[in-house]
Amino acid sequence: MRRIVKRWLVRDPAGQALHVRSERLTDDGQGSLQLTAESSAGYCSGCRRPVTDLAELRGTCDWCNTRGCCVHCLSQCQVCSRRLCGTCRRGFPGPPAVAVCATCQQRLMQRQVLQDQQSEFEREMDRHRLFNQDQALRLTHERLQLTAQLQAARLGLNKKSLLMRVVTPIRWTAWALWKVVQYGCRPLR
Ligand SMILES: [Zn+2]
Ligand SMILES: [Zn+2]
Ligand SMILES: [Zn+2]
């Protein structure tokens, strides 16, 4: 029995067999030849998907430096452009929602907290401003009302004094006349 094996090997950049294709020709010594073909695929160390073509590999993850990336599982940090495998990829809910590395996720979250504080502060300032405006309007209104009341009161007083100016002399005259009449009617002694 004789056996001839042909083997094609594709290695990944790390030197590991990525894809092995072999053809086995067996001669059983009695004139019968048998050809068997075998094919075994390598795996992406990041997502365990079978990879048969070197072109599908995308290098090693920049974060863990151990797992590889392929066209299916590769992602990139949207902030620092680091290459990320499926395990090291983090998500930031946004807005906008992005795939990021752990460091950038941390930074984005801190920034969001600061932004939230800032906008809360601005809302508080707006509330204060509105309250002050309201207060100022109310004060102006009250002052106007008070001025109007004072004016009305002054006008009322003036009216009264005008009246008194007319009435008082009349009263005095009447009194004087009354006295004259009294004296005039006094019985002579
Ligand atoms: Zn990784
Ligand atoms: Zn993969
Ligand atoms: Zn990043």
Task: Give the DSSP per-residue string, 25-78.
Answer: EEE-SSS-EEEEEEEEEEE-TTT--EE--GGGEEEE-TTTSSSEEETTT-EE-T
Domain ranges within the chain, ordered by starting residue:
1-43
Which ligand is closest in space to the CA of residue 99?
Answer: 3
Q: Give the tokens for residue 108.
A: 């984005």
pLDDT tens digits, 93-105: 877 888 999 999 9
- Going by their DSSP bridges, the two strands 98-100 and 50-51 should be labelled as unpaired
pLDDT higher than threshold 70 for residue 177: yes
Q: Ligand 2 centroid to 87 CA: how many Å?
A: 10
185: which DSSP letter? T
Q: How confident is the model at residue 187 (pLDDT cuts 50, 70, 90)?
A: low
Q: Ligand 1 centroid to 30 CA: how many Å?
A: 55
pLDDT higher than threshold 80 for residue 154: yes
Which ligand is closest in space to the CA of residue 84?
Answer: 1
Q: Give the tokens for residue 134.
A: 């309201």
pLDDT higher than threshold 60 for residue 37: yes
HSE-CB at 189 with a 13 A cutoff on CA atoms is 1
Q: Ligand 3 centroid to 94 CA: how many Å?
A: 14
Higher pLDDT: 161 or 107? It is: 107
Computed over every residue of the chain, the mean pLDDT equals 84
Cα gap 77→54, rounded to integer Å: 23
**Residues 67-80, mean pLDDT to the nearest whole number:** 89
Note the pTM of the prediction, 2 decimals: 0.49
Cα gap 60→52, rounded to integer Å: 17
Q: Ligand 2 centroid to 47 CA: how many Å?
A: 4
> In the chain, what percentage of residues exceed pLDDT 90?
24
pLDDT tens digits, 120-151: 999 999 999 999 999 999 999 999 999 988 88
pLDDT higher than threshold 60 for residue 189: no
